[in-house]
A and B are shown apart, each in its own frame.
Chain A
Amino acid sequence: MGSESTYRPFVKEKAEYDVFFLGSSHVGCGIAPMELWEAYGITSYDFATSAGTIPTLYNQLRLSVRHHKPKIAVLDVMGADCDVYVSSQMDSVHVALDYFPLSRQKYECIADLFPDDKKRRIAYLFPFTIFHNRWVDMTPEMIWDGIFNVPVNNVKGQWLDYSLDTVSRPANEIQTDETLQDNPLGMQYIEKFITFCRVNDIIPVLMSIPYPVTSISARKGENSVQTLSERMGVSYYNLQGTGVVDYATDLRDPSSHVNFSGARKVTLYIGERLRNDYGLTDHREEDSYASWKADSKVYAQQLVNNLQGQTDLKVCLMILYSPNFTAQLHLREDAELDPVEKKLVSQLGNAISIEEVPLAPDVPYIRLDIHDISGGTDFTKYF
């Protein structure tokens, strides 16, 4: 999605946000604001930039607080060891910044990200200079949608996706106690992030969303962040190695982004820590947050619609890891779940019951009866 699609809902929101989550694609995939709302009544938004560098995220925070100021800003520190201002994925930097209107502060942010490249600054201050040539790629449908049917991210910035990757095997993780020897831009901007938050009465929090760390530099970066957080008195929620996610069931792609079920686990963990550490208020019964209740219903319906369209048992079991559903799994006596499916079933706990059905010609191999608690509907899937 483009910049306007991602951040227009953020800007137009009338209620206040409790938390901003800033990070790379790992935050986009791994933090589910609607799950955080449904579990704890905490309002939040994902500022996720593909291959986003910490300087980019820092400046994105500077621009976003002009519209809403959160109580807490949580920065995922992946990229602490990087020494570049911006990612080579220029389109993602455009997504991160373009929607924010031209202002003196935007000029300062762009100048901060491109200290030596005045030409590139123009491209980000005036995106039309880059995108005016897009007419080459446009179709009449795109033009129509662009005017009358602009898609928006209605899940508060999350990159909601129902992929499940059980094929790729994450490489062995690297462990070390060493820290970074130099002070790369990533670390410098984490400090700037903390300082900026404190100056603006925002509580800074650092986090590491779990993924298999195969780079020693990245691991050193996490260690350096630990040291920094202790020195500056900032909470650091390092989920690495905590077992919050299971790489066998909770990844969505070979790049080790967490999937729907993994995101729920990460989000609930972070949400509980934030609630306990900072006493965030549960807004679920407040009238001023009526729009979030409405958005929650839309989100729940999206899950139902997606579940109804799924043909993969594993994906269905993954989506069922949501408080909105209960299910009965009917296995014919010759049917057998593979290890991943068994794990997905076991994490559902009491939300799913399993029944073995005798073998007969008209009995389906696997039948899954699903009850949507929020919508009150029932439907059945066969595999």
Chain B
Amino acid sequence: MGWNPKYALLLAFCTAVTFFASLLLEKHKDKANLILVLALCVIFSLLLYYKYLNFLLELFAKTLSVVRIRFAAPKFDIVLPVGISFFTFQAAGYLIDVWRGEIRAERNFLRYALFVSFFPQLVAGPIERSRNLMAQFEEPRKFDFDRAKNGFMLILWGLFLKMVIADRAAIFVDAAYGGWKNVHGLILILATVMFAFQIYCDFYGYSIIAKGAAQILGITLMDNFNAPYLSVSVQEFWRRWHISLSTWFKDYVYIPLGGSRCSRPRSALNVIAVMLVSGAWHGAGLNFVAWGLFHGIAQVAERIAKPLLVRVPRFIRWAGTAFWTTVAWVFFRAESLKDSLRMLKRMAGSVKRAFMEGDVFSSSQLFQIGAVSVDDHAFELKFGFTAKDMHLLGFAVCILLIADFLKYKGISVSEMFCKRNPAIQVVGTAIAITFLAVFGIWGTAFDAANFIYFQF
């Protein structure tokens, strides 16, 4: 992943291509389709090159090997420019909106460039729509203390998610997944559950920080997450997870393919196609495609089984959704499709043995692997994770779930806090900052600035 300033040229190129293409679209309506296709080909070819070339060559070689043709795929040392997936999609979305006639092409290059490169959301979203973001640039913004205060609270919340939960969970997850061949299946299950929170808090944390930073500047970005782990179906999960991306795919891929306004089989294929592309968007690897497929299959199954599912108690539906999305994370986190399948097999085997050999519902079972418990120094040495880290993580996740539950019910905690007595706000903020300073994973031993989604 590259932070090299020369990649700003790439951003500038993408901006220029889509800016001029949008003007041409309006000027030459008879050639609009051609202009759109050409422009999208140009910007997506860059994405294809930087992100997928090596993967596609490898895939090509593997396909040929199936028919016994040997092809040594060349490997190129290509550094992925940070944020390329995000700004490419954002620019493409704008161009398609102009082509559809939903918005007018922006005449001011600088304002358009600002839309594409707006720094809070440039590197990891949310993928904004021009009608939301660009419209805000047209009006001058005055500094508003309350809005800035709210923005600062959002940044603190985002830092809590990132530094206290995500980066802490990452220590254990990286150790477990990194050495998974020597790790018990139950530990891998624990690591997968922790990864579910790691990726959520890492990505949500970034989005909230971006939203908070933009808010200080007087710009409102869209919500990118809305309590996804409280979903009772995979379909609902995708309405609450990475909302900007899922709505982008819905508006620019799913609906153009026909959406649900076609036959059931075709509609199901559309869902699968979108989820496959979504998976591929997340990473150049078959495991990411598998992750997308896993979600796609679940969504199709839910549609088919809808009449039955509505009778299932809400808690069971929630548990099933949580289980399915957690299992899917194995594909996302593993290094390859093969590894993910083997890890799932290891986990399944350990669960089966736990049922046959002991009380799987004993809380100590999860932490007693042979003679090693989470309080053991050996556990700490192997995973770099202490019992206190586990307790703190559990506490922090509880806070997250409470906040998400309140959000699910339509209650904004930050707004509630900002309406409190100023003295309480000051003390609360000081406590929050102190909490982050002491319990956050930061410092010269860590690089907290690296967010998982920067690599997409």
Are chains A and B native binding partners rather than an unrelated pairing?
yes
Please give the residue numbers on chain A whose beta carbons come within 8 Å of chain B beta carbons, in ascending order.
119-120, 122-123, 128-130, 132-133, 135-136
Contact B443 A133 (CB under 8 A): yes
List 13 other contacts, CB 8 Å, given A120-B444, A129-B444.
Answer: A119-B444, A123-B443, A123-B444, A129-B442, A129-B443, A130-B443, A132-B438, A132-B440, A132-B443, A133-B441, A135-B388, A136-B386, A136-B389
Q: How far is the CB of B393 from chain A (nearest CB, A)?
A: 12
Q: How far is the CB of A139 from chain B (nearest CB, A)?
A: 11
A123 CA / B443 CA spacing, docked (Å): 8
User: Which chain B residues (434-455) contact chain A, with CB distance < 8 Å?
Assistant: 437-445
B-side contacts of A132, CB under 8 Å: 437-438, 440, 442-443
Tell whether, in the assembled complex, residue B444 and residue A136 are in contact, meaning their CB atoms are under 8 Å apart: no
Residues on A with beta carbons closer than 8 Å to the beta carbon of B442: 129, 132
Dominant SS among interface residues on chain A? helix
A-B contact pairs, 16 of them (CB 8 A): A119-B444, A120-B444, A122-B444, A123-B443, A123-B444, A128-B437, A129-B442, A129-B443, A129-B444, A130-B444, A130-B445, A132-B442, A132-B443, A135-B438, A136-B386, A136-B389
Contacting A at CB under 8 A, from B370-414, are 386, 388-389
Determine the residue in chain B with the shortest Cβ distance to A131: B443
Query: Which residue of chain B lies nearest to A129 when distances are taken between CB atoms in the complex?
Result: B443
Nearest-CB distance from A81 to chain B (Å)?
Answer: 30
* Complex CA–CA separation, A120 to B445 (angstroms): 9
Alpha-carbon gap, A129 to B443, bound state (A): 5
Q: What is the bound-complex CA distance between A135 and B440, given in angstroms?
A: 11
Residue of A nearest to B437 (CB): A132
Distance in angstroms from A332 CB to nearest chain B CB is 48
Residues of A within 8 A of B444 (CB): 119-120, 122-123, 129-130
Cβ–Cβ < 8 Å partners of A136 in chain B? 386, 388-389
Residues of B within 8 A of A123 (CB): 443-444
CA distance A123 to B386 in the complex (A): 23
Q: Are B439 and A135 in contact (CB under 8 A)?
A: yes
The 0/1 profile, CB within 8 Å of A marked 1, for residues 234-277 of chain B is 00000000000000000000000000000000000000000000
Query: Which residue of chain A lies nearest to B445 when distances are taken between CB atoms in the complex?
Result: A130
CA A80 – CA B388 in complex, angstroms? Answer: 44
Contacts of A129 in B (CB 8 A): 442-444
Q: Which residues of A contact B386 (CB under 8 A)?
A: 136
CA distance A130 to B441 in the complex (A): 10
Closest CB in chain B relative to A25 CB, distance in Å: 26
- Expressed in whole angstroms, the Cα–Cα distance for A130 and B442 within the complex equals 9
CB within 8 Å of A: which of B164-196? Answer: none
A134 to chain B, nearest CB (A): 9
Smallest distance from the beta carbon of A277 to chain B beta carbons, Å? 45
Q: Please, which residues of chain B bring their CB within 8 A of the CB of A135?
A: 388, 438-439
**Closest chain B CB from A113 CB (angstroms):** 15
- Distance in Å: Cβ of B234 to nearest Cβ of chain A: 37
Residues of A with C-beta under 8 A to B389: 136
Write the nearest CB–CB distance from A135 to chain B, whole angstroms. 6
User: Which residue on chain A has the smallest CB distance to residue B380?
Assistant: A136
Q: Taking CB as reference atom, which chain B residue is nearest A138?
A: B388
Contacts of B437 in A (CB 8 A): 128, 132
Q: Nearest-CB distance from B7 to chain A (Å)?
A: 23
Residue with the greatest number of chain B CB neighbours at <10 A, chosen from A123, A130, A136: A136
Residue of A nearest to B436 (CB): A132
Alpha-carbon distance between A140 and B445 when the two chains are bound, in angstroms: 26
A360 to B445, CA, bound (A): 67
Bound: A119/B444 CA distance, A: 6
Residue of A nearest to B441 (CB): A133
Chain A residue nearest to B443 (CB atoms) is: A129
Which of chain B's residues have a CB closer than 8 A to the CB of A119? Answer: 444
Residues in chain A near residue B440, CB distance under 8 A = 132
For the complex, give the distance between the alpha carbons of A132 and B437 in Å.
7
Docked pose: A133 CA to B443 CA in angstroms:
9
Alpha-carbon distance A129/B388, docked complex (angstroms): 19
What are the 9 tightest A-B residue pairs by CB atom distance, in nearest-first order? Answer: A129-B443, A123-B444, A119-B444, A136-B388, A136-B386, A132-B438, A122-B444, A129-B444, A135-B438
Most chain B CB within a 10 A radius of its CB, from A120, A123, A133, A135: A133
Give A86 Cβ to nearest chain B Cβ, in Å. Answer: 15
CA distance A133 to B388 in the complex (A): 11
Minimum distance in angstroms from B387 CB to a CB of chain A: 9
Cα–Cα distance between A129 and B445 once the two chains are bound (Å)? 9
Q: How far is the CA of A130 from the CA of B439 in the complex (A)?
A: 12
Residues of B within 8 A of A120 (CB): 444
Which of A120, A123, A132 has the largest number of chain B CB atoms within 10 A? Answer: A132
**Residues of B contacting A122 in the complex (Cβ-Cβ under 8 angstroms):** 444
Once the chains are docked, how many angstroms separate the CA of A123 from the CA of B442? 12
State how many angstroms separate the Cβ of B395 from the closest Cβ of chain A. Answer: 13
Contacts of B438 in A (CB 8 A): 132, 135
Q: Complex Cα distance A136/B440, Å?
A: 12
With both beta carbons as reference points, the residue of chain A lying nearest to B387 in the complex is identified as A136
A133 to B439, CA, bound (A): 7
A136–B439 alpha-carbon span in the complex (Å): 9
Residues of B within 8 A of A133 (CB): 441, 443
